[in-house]
Amino acid sequence: KAGVTQTPRYLIKTRGQQVTLSCSPISGHRSVSWYQQTPGQGLQFLFEYFSETQRNKGNFPGRFSGRQFSNSRSEMNVSTLELGDSALYLCASSPAGEVGNTIYFGEGSWLTVV
């Protein structure tokens, strides 16, 4: 069974640009979450989608957005990039909506903003 797949793995963007990151969850998983990992702030929850609906959102500005498609694939978008947005963005999926389910993480997308 394929794991959580994230694309692209590495990308470099310029301040002010926007970026879209993609995540394909494990087959059959309906919940997809996104996390930002930085050396200074650690791992922070961005948002979670379940059956195409955003179910929870972390404390990030509106420049960070996401969506989920009917096949459970998800994308996140960051507009008007800032230097501080440089981070590893991790996507995670779980089988269903129940809390306590094992959450499986992808290898992440490394974003560098210059």
Stretch that binds another protein, among 17-25, 36-44, 64-72, 73-81 (CB under 8 A): 36-44
Q: Is 83 helix (H, G, I), strand (E, B) or coil?
A: helix
- Decide if residue 51 touches another protein (CB under 8 A): no
From the list 18-26, 35-43, 68-76, 77-85, the region that binds another protein by CB under 8 A is 35-43
3 state SS of 3: coil
Q: Could you say whether residue 12 binds another protein (CB under 8 A)?
A: no
Using CB under 8 A, pick the residue from 15, 28, 97, 112 that binds another protein.
97
Between the alpha carbon of residue 42 and those of residues 26, 36, 60, 78, 103, the distances in Å are: 25, 8, 14, 19, 18
Q: How far is the CB of 16 from another protein (least distance, A)?
A: 28
Q: Using an 8 Å Cβ cutoff, are 27 and 1 in contact?
A: yes
Q: Which residue has the tokens 């507009």?
A: 79
Q: Which stretch binds another protein (CB under 8 A): 17-25, 61-69, 72-80, 92-100?
A: 92-100
